[in-house]
């Protein structure tokens, strides 16, 4: 049987050291879940190793097949432009498939609820609690529509209400969504950051939650087990055509 493709997790990168630390923690969890799978990490900016550097190293080792998995929650600019552009410049001996972005997925919703419980939200209070689904924000209409759709679907799982909010590029901001939920009559308001790692925009979400006096602010998704499982699901979906072509 042919060797399984290497999983290359492609992260954005950040000047904030918490970002890379969180990405590496998530990758460690993925490796623990699939001990036989080679998992590498590359960053688009600010951090090392860079994506081009990892791809050059893999090619030099004789690796042929790679699944490049964007560590992104929506299909915005980086998934549509930046990452494909970087992958096109990879050594020609590599056969690379770009996996789908992580969201939307029921596993992410479960991870959001896990983080809310860890932040102290009692599941018994779900029906009286409004949730702000707070994302980083994007100028891409498709990405904004996806966040709004997730909020609508999540509302039907028993919350008082769910409202999307954005730290940049779009409105409303977190603090405004918190106030809207108060006005709707929700007894409690929780802010659930729909982001993978700490950084400038998640910090802005946290400041908005504090300014509007939200009752609960959960942590970023980070290395939640549901997120790690989702990475492996996206990898498996992307690798199947490679294996079929190789006759595996």
Q: Domains of the chain by range and CATH?
A: 6-102+224-246 (3.40.50.1400), 120-217 (3.40.50.1400)
Pairing between strand 188-193 and 216-217? parallel
112: alpha, beta or left? (left if phi > 0; alpha if psi -120 to 50): alpha
State mean pLDDT over 118-137: 98
Q: What is the DSSP letter of 100?
A: P
- Residue pointed to by tokens 């992104």: 72
**Torsion over CA: 190, 194, 196, 199 (sign):** negative
Q: How far is CA 148 from CA 141, 145, 186, 229, in A?
A: 11, 5, 19, 24
242, pLDDT greater than 60: no
First to last CA, the chain: 6
**176: its two tokens:** 């405004």
Question: What percent of the chain is helix, strand and coil (3-state, nearest 5)?
Answer: 50, 15, 35
State mean pLDDT over 182-201: 98
pLDDT of residue 246: 44
State mean pLDDT over 222-226: 98
User: pLDDT-based confidence at 1, cuts 50/70/90?
Assistant: very low
Taking the C-alpha atoms of 175, 181, 183 and 188 in order, what is their torsion angle to the nearest 10 degrees?
Answer: -100
User: pLDDT-based confidence at 70, cuts 50/70/90?
Assistant: very high
**Is 235 within 8 Å of 96 (Cβ atoms)?**
no
243, pLDDT greater than 70: no
CA angle 172, 141, 104 (to 5 degrees): 85
State mean pLDDT over 104-114: 98
Q: For residue 197, which of 10, 22, 9 has the smallest C-alpha distance?
A: 22
User: pLDDT-based confidence at 244, cuts 50/70/90?
Assistant: very low
Residue 224 CA to residue 40 CA, distance in Å, equals: 18
Across the chain, how many H-helices and E-strands are there? 9, 8
State mean pLDDT over 113-141: 97
pTM for this structure? Answer: 0.94
State mean pLDDT over 90-97: 97
Burial (CB < 10 A; 0-12, 13-18, 19+), residue 243, is: middle
Q: Is 230 helix (H, G, I), strand (E, B) or coil?
A: helix
- Residue pointed to by tokens 């659930």: 192
212, pLDDT greater than 80: yes
243 versus 65: the higher-pLDDT residue is 65
Q: For all residues of the chain together, what is the average pLDDT?
A: 95
pLDDT digits (tens, 9 = 90+) for 134-155: 999 998 999 999 999 999 999 9
- Residue pointed to by tokens 């609508």: 152
**213: its two tokens:** 């006096």
**Is 231 within 8 Å of 30 (Cβ atoms)?**
yes
77, pLDDT greater than 90: no
Strand order in the sheet with 161-166: 161-166, 129-135, 188-193, 216-217
């Amino acid at each position: 049987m042919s060797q399984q493709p290497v999983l290359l997790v492609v992260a954005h990168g950040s000047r904030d050291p918490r970002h890379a630390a969180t990405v590496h923690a998530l990758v460690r969890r993925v490796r623990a879940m699939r001990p036989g799978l080679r998992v590498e990490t590359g960053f688009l900016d600010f951090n090392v190793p860079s994506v081009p550097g990892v791809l050059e190293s893999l090619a030099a080792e004789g690796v042929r097949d790679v699944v490049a998995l964007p560590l992104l929650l929506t299909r915005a600019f980086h998934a549509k432009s930046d990452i494909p552009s970087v992958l096109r410049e990879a050594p020609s001996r590599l056969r690379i498939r770009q996996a789908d972005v992580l969201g939307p997925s029921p596993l992410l919703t479960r991870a959001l609820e896990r983080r809310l419980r860890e932040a102290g939200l009692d599941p018994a209070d779900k029906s009286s609690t409004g949730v702000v689904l707070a994302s980083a924000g994007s100028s891409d209409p498709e990405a904004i529509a996806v966040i709004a759709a997730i909020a609508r679907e999540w509302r039907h799982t028993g919350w008082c209400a769910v409202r999307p909010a954005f730290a940049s590029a779009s409105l409303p901001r977190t603090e405004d969504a918190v106030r809207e939920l108060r006005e709707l009559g929700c007894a409690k308001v929780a802010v659930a950051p729909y982001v993978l790692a700490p950084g400038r925009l998640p910090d802005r979400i946290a400041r908005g939650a504090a300014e509007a006096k939200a009752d609960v602010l959960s942590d970023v998704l980070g290395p939640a087990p549901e997120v790690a499982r989702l990475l492996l699901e996206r990898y498996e979906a992307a690798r199947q055509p490679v294996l079929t072509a190789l006759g595996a």
